[in-house]
Amino acid sequence: MALIKIVGVICAVARSFLVMPSSRLPAALDARVDGRRNRTQATRHQILTTARSLIIAGQGEPTAKDIAEQVGITTRTLFRHFPDMGTLLRTVMIDAQTQAQAVMDEPFPSTVAPGQHWRALLNLVIQRRTRTYEFLLPLHISPSIQRHWRAIPDASIDRGVLRRRKRLTAILPTPLSSDPLLFEALDATLSIEFWISLRIDQALPAPKAAEVLRYAVDRILPDTL
């Protein structure tokens, strides 16, 4: 008899859940899911930020343990967010390049028209590129980043180069953009590889490197246009 009463109570409780307004449980569940998702995204962001900060600080090959300790998590938790260090470091580079590309793709001021004021636009391009190249520099000279970055398909890297060249073509007068030798010389001078050479191989400080880059551009461009 006691068992029958207990079963009856359990069934009554179960029925009360069945008739409960459907909005109550899903709302609570959604809140918990959103909370977990936000915490996951925050931890992932912190891992990426910490990895980049360690590299900028001069630690060219940070380990999973180094990053996890700085974030305050275990390496096991770190690898729940990223399957391996290669994926983590490639993501650091991709995120940084996305930020840099956003700066270089900012619209030009409406008061400066291409064709008529191409030198002013080129000057703006140089300012943006030197700023973003300096931002990317620690990642480009990090051995671990570059080792894993080589695993990226060439097509992805080529798209970045094509965007850079297209941006340059859009602001140059036709006589310059259609001159193969001049255009290639200018594009090479405005590439991140040239900036790395100035900053690392020649050990120039950033202001001096920018000055040399501008001097090189001025020597390439004709005075007649």
**Confidence tier at 8 by pLDDT (50, 70, 90):** very low
pLDDT in tens, 56-102: 998 889 999 999 999 999 999 999 999 999 999 999 999 998 999 88
Predicted local distance difference test score (pLDDT) of residue 32: 61
Confidence check: pLDDT of 221 > 80: yes
**Confidence tier at 16 by pLDDT (50, 70, 90):** very low
> What SS3 string covers the chain?
CHHHHHHHHHHHHHHHHHCCCCCHHHHHHHHHHHHHHHHHHHHHHHHHHHHHHHHHCCCCCCCHHHHHHHHCCCHHHHHHHCCCHHHHHHHHHHHHHHHHHHHHCCCCCCCCCCCCCHHHHHHHHHHHHHHHHHHHHHHHCCHHHHHHHCCCCHHHHHHHHHHHHHHHHHHCCHHHHCCHHHHHHHHHHCCHHHHHHHHHHCCCCHHHHHHHHHHHHHHHCCCCC
Predicted local distance difference test score (pLDDT) of residue 10: 36
**pTM above threshold 0.85:** no
pLDDT in tens, 111-135: 776 666 899 999 999 999 999 999 9
End-to-end Cα separation, the chain, in angstroms: 103
Predicted local distance difference test score (pLDDT) of residue 46: 96
Contact 39, 129 (CB under 8 A): no
pLDDT in tens, 166-214: 999 989 999 999 999 999 999 999 999 999 999 999 999 999 999 999 9
